[in-house]
Structure 1
Amino acid sequence: MKVSLFIPCFIDQIYPETAFNTIKLLQKAGCEVSYNPNQTCCGQPAYNAGFWDEAKKIGLKFLNDFPEDTYIVSPSASCTGMVKNGYNDLFTNSMEHNRCRNIQGNIYELSDFLVNVLKKDYFGAELVGTAVYHDSCSALRECHIKDEPRQLLSQVGGLELLEIRDQESCCGFGGTFAVKFEGISAAMAEQKVQSAVAVKADYIISTDSSCLLQLQGYIDRQGLPIKTKHLADVLTSGWANI
C-alpha cells in the first residue's frame, strides 16, 4: 500500500526522531512511504488565530503538495483534524472544493490508520513501565480517536496502561491559548501531569507533539520523575537496528 507522509511543523522542527519512527512503523506495517520535501504547514496556527485568508493560502499549498488518490498519514491528530474539519471553512464551494474533499477523505492520523485501515496493532515494541495516555482535544473531539491508541499500547511488551482522573481534560496548550492565557494554560498542564504522577506513571503518551511539549515543559520546570513520549516513539521502542 502506498502512503504519503505528512509531517507537521512541531515534529519537523522539535521532534524529528518521531518523524523517522513514523516511517519505520509504516514500513514495518507493509507500506511504501513517500515524502514530499516541499510540504510545509497545514495552516492551523493562522486559522486558529483568525487569519483565515492567510490560512487559506497555506492550505492551498497543502492541497497542491499532496495527491488526491493516495492515503495521507500524519503522526498528529491536531493537523489531521485541521485538514478534515478546518478546511471546510476555507474551501467549501471554492474552486478547490472537490480536491479538498478527496484529500479530506484520504488523510488519517497514525493510530487511526494502523488500526482501522491496516487492521494491525502489534509491532513487536517493548517499553517497560507504567503509562497514561493523554487524549488530545483534536484526537478525541475532532478525529473521534479514543480506543485506537489504547489498543496499540496494549500490545507493547512490558507496558502497563493506567487511566487517570479527568482523563479527557485538555493539557492547556491550544496553540496561541498558551500565550494569551498563560496562567490558565499552566494550571491545566499542572492538573494533567499531577494526575499522572498520582498514579505513579512513568510516561505520558499522546498522538500530538504539541500536547507533549506543553506537558514536558511543566515536568521540566518542576523536576518531576515522569517523561512524555509520542505514540510513534513508543510503538518503535525496543526494536533492534531497524
Structure 2
Amino acid sequence: MARRTIVDIFIPCFVDQLHPETGMSMVKVLEGLGCEVNYNPNQTCCGQPAFNAGFYDEAREVANKFLDDFSNETSHYIVAPSASCVGMVRNAYQDIFVKSSKLVKYRAMQKKVFELTEFLTDVLKVSQVPGARLDGKATYHDSCSALRECHIKEGPRALLQGVHGLEMIEMEDTETCCGFGGTFAVKFEAISVAMAEQKVENALATGADYIISTDSSCLMHLNGYIQKNKKPIKTMHIADVLASGW
C-alpha cells in the first residue's frame, strides 16, 4: 500500500482571525486528495509584520518559534494557504538565520514549505480537484508574493481551469500590485486605494463575477474597496474555490 503524504498545515494570522473557512477548505482539499493532515495548535505567526516593520529582534523570536513548531518531522510537508507567508519563510528567514546555529535546521525545513496551489501542482502533480465546481466567470489576481517571491503563476490557473462551471478570463495588468502591501496600505492610504480601484476596475472589465487569488490579504484589501463602493463583484480565495461544490 502506498504511503500517504503527510502535511503539517500552517494557518496564517489573516486566515485564522478573519477567514477560518479558508483554512478548513485547504484541509478539505488536501484530505480529499488523500493526504494526512496535521495541525499544531501551538503555531502562531510567521513574523512577517514585525520583519517588514523593521523589528528584526522580534521577528527573529517568532521565526525561532516557527522553526521549533514545524521542524520536528523531516518527512512532513508544510503547506499554507498564503504565498505571502510562504515567501517570508523561504526568503526572509534566510536573513534571520544566516548567522545562526539553527541555519542547518532551517535549510532542511525551507525545502518542505509550500503554498497550497504549488503543493498540489508540483508535489502531488494534480491538475484538477475532482468535484470542484463554481458556476460563473472569474479572473485571477497574481499576488506580489506568489508571483515574485514564490514564482507561482501557471499552477493556480491550471487548477482553476479544471473547476467545473467556471469560466476564467484574464484581466489587464494582472501582475500589478493590488495596493495592500501590509503597512503600505496604512502609511500610503491614497496610493493604496487608487491601486485597489485600478485592480477592481480591470477585473470588472472582464465581466467576471469573482476575483480569485492565493492570498487573503490581497482579497481583504480588494473586498474593502468593493464593498465601500458597492461594486458588482466578489472575492474568493482559491482554496475556497477548489473546495466548493463537493
Same fold by TM (over 0.5)? Answer: yes
Question: 3-state SS of the aligned residue for 2:192?
Answer: helix
Question: 3-state SS of the aligned residue for 1:53?
Answer: helix
Residue segments in structure 1 that go unaligned for 5+ positions in a row: none
Shift, 1:165, TM fit: 1.0
Alignment match, 2:23: 19
Q: Deviations over 1:142-166 (max 9, x none)?
A: 0000000000000000101111111
Q: Deviations over 1:219-238 (max 9, x none)?
A: 00010110000000000111
Equivalence map 1:109-148=2 (5 Å): 109-123=115-129, 124-148=131-155
- Greater mean deviation of Cα atoms: 77-86 or 92-101: 92-101
Q: Distance in 1 between matches of 2:193 and 2:105?
A: 40
TM-score w.r.t. length of structure 1 = 0.98
Match of 2:197 among 190, 215, 235: 190
Q: Deviations over 1:147-187 (max 9, x none)?
A: 00000000000101111111100010000000000000000
Match of 1:203 among 189, 201, 210: 210
Match of 1:59 among 63, 75, 96: 63
Count of aligned pairs between the two proteins: 239
Alignment match, 1:149: 156
Q: Distance in 1 between matches of 2:245 and 2:219?
A: 21
1:73 matched to 2:97? The reply is no
Question: 3-state SS of the aligned residue for 1:201?
Answer: coil
Greater than 2 Å deviation, 4+ residue runs:
none
Q: Distance in 1 between matches of 2:57 and 2:95?
A: 11
Shift, 1:122, TM fit: 1.7
TM-score w.r.t. length of structure 2 = 0.96
Q: Distance in 1 between matches of 2:185 and 2:231?
A: 21
Partner amino acid, structure 1, of 2:113: I
Shift, 1:211, TM fit: 0.2
1:101 matched to 2:107? The reply is yes
Alignment match, 1:166: 173
Partner amino acid, structure 1, of 2:11: I
Q: Distance in 2 between matches of 1:100 and 1:87?
A: 8
Q: Deviations over 1:116-141 (max 9, x none)?
A: 10011222211011101000000000
Partner amino acid, structure 1, of 2:161: S
Q: Distance in 1 between matches of 2:156 and 2:166?
A: 13
Match of 1:29 among 9, 29, 33: 33
